[in-house]
Structure 1
Amino acid sequence: MLIRRETPADQAAIHAVHSEAFRREEGVTPIEAPLVDDLRAEGDLIAALSLVAVRDGEVAGHVCCSRARLGGDPAAAVGLGPLGVLSAHQGSGVGAALMHAVLAAADALGYGLVVLLGEPAYYARFGFTAAAELSIVSPDPSWGKYFQARTLAAYEPTQAGAFEYAPALARI
């Protein structure tokens, strides 16, 4: 398996990955697929943090991070998501490899935090905890424990306050 940055040639495959990975109802495109397209079109997708997993020459998974604001600081944190893996590759380590790679890349870029909305039982193994424990205020209080954050090397305890996703994420 190869983890690399997305290229323009990957965009249709990325859309297909999220369409399949998040499909809840046949014939209905899940919001995660056009969300990545919107983040990219609006300039909020961070190119260095949009990664694909390639297995047997096929894009098997994708993860991305987008611009965010934390307590008014546009450089402190990024919003992670979506993370999608084709069903044929789920449970084989593709998602974990993508998570490790994107966290390492965000760390290398000097961000202090990665924030996401997701299942605590899955994301705890990557070091995520409830964002509220780090004094990060969720855009929606009903998200509770599902709104999570992970500190990186550049984290400072002053990186706290209200978290704002990129507009495309905030619209969903």
Structure 2
Amino acid sequence: MLIRRERSGDTEAIRAVTAAAFRAAEHSAPPAEPGGDPGEATLISWLRSDPGWIPELSLVALDSDEIIGHVVATRAHVGSCPALGLGPISVLPERQGAGVGSALMHAVLGAADARGETVVGLLGDPAYYGRFGFVPASTTAVTSPDPAWGDYFQVRTLSDYEDQGGPFQYASPFDRF
């Protein structure tokens, strides 16, 4: 398996991987149009057109020449301080549980840290994301975008973190759902 940055010709394969990964997911975003792909597949398209898009933090996992996974982190904010919103992260269903998602997480967090980013937020299962250093935001000075998310909204600090606090705000396309 190889992890690399997304390239311009990867767009449709990323959409297909994301749609497949979230089609049967218990907590998937609703389709942007009736009968369409899960919302996460459309979200990536919206994010690419947003000023919060960071090309260096859109990564794919390859097996031979086939894209089998994708992760993206986009510009977010904690109060007025820059932060990152991680997700969606997608792995083809038949490849889940084989370390692809873990490799993508380590790669994107390492790339974010190397860029000098300070904090990353995500919405996901604490039992899974805790292994990557994420903690419920409720245990920090960061406030979740939606209090109903409870411990599922999590944050991870990176090397240059300096006690940021305040409300977390994802890139604007996340507000379209």
Into which bin does the TM-score normalised by the smaller protein fall?
over 0.9
Secondary structure of 1:92 counterpart: coil
Letter in 1 for 2:48: R
Match of 1:133 in 2: 139
Q: What is the CA-CA distance between 1:107 and the residue it aligns to?
A: 0.4
Q: CA deviation at 1:56?
A: 2.1
Give 1:28 shift.
Answer: 4.1
- The Cα offsets for residues 78-101 of structure 1, whole Å up to 9 and x where unpaired, read as 000000000121111100000000
Quote the Cα distance in structure 2 between the aligned partners of 1:56 and 1:16. 17
Q: Deviations over 1:12-33 (max 9, x none)?
A: 00000110000039x5410000
Deviations 1:46-72 (A, max 9, x none): 111000000121000000001111111
- Whichever residue aligns with residue 8 of structure 2, its letter is P
Find out whether 1:152 has 2:158 as its counterpart. Answer: yes
In the alignment, does 2:141 pair up with 1:142? no
Please state if 1:106 is matched with 2:112: yes
Residue identity opposite 1:56 in structure 2: S
Q: CA RMSD in A?
A: 1.2
2:103 paired residue among 94, 97, 110:
97
Q: How does 1:10-159 map to 2 (within 5 A)?
A: 10-24=10-24, 28-73=36-81, 75=82, 77-157=83-163, 159=164
For residues 90 and 140 of structure 1, the distance between their equivalents in structure 2, rounded to whole angstroms, comes to 28
Query: In 2, Cα distance between the equivalents of 1:46 and 1:131?
Result: 23
Q: Deviations over 1:74-124 (max 9, x none)?
A: x2x100000000012111110000000000000001111110000001100
The alignment's TM-score, normalised by the length of structure 2, stands at: 0.92
**Where does structure 1 differ by over 3 angstroms across 4 or more consecutive aligned residues?**
none
Deviations 1:136-157 (A, max 9, x none): 0111100010000001000111
Letter of the 1:2 counterpart: L
Asked if residue 163 in structure 1 is aligned to residue 168 in structure 2, the reply is yes
TM-score (norm 1): 0.94
Contact 1:24 1:30 in 2 (8 A): no
Compare 79-88 and 37-46 and name the one that shifted more. 37-46
- Identical pairs, percent: 54
| SS in structure 1 at match of 2:57 | strand
User: 1:143-172 CA deviation, whole Å, 9 max, x = no partner?
Assistant: 010000001000111x11011111111222
- SS of residue in 1 equivalent to 2:161: coil
- CA distance in structure 2 between the aligned counterparts of 1:53 and 1:60, rounded to whole angstroms: 6
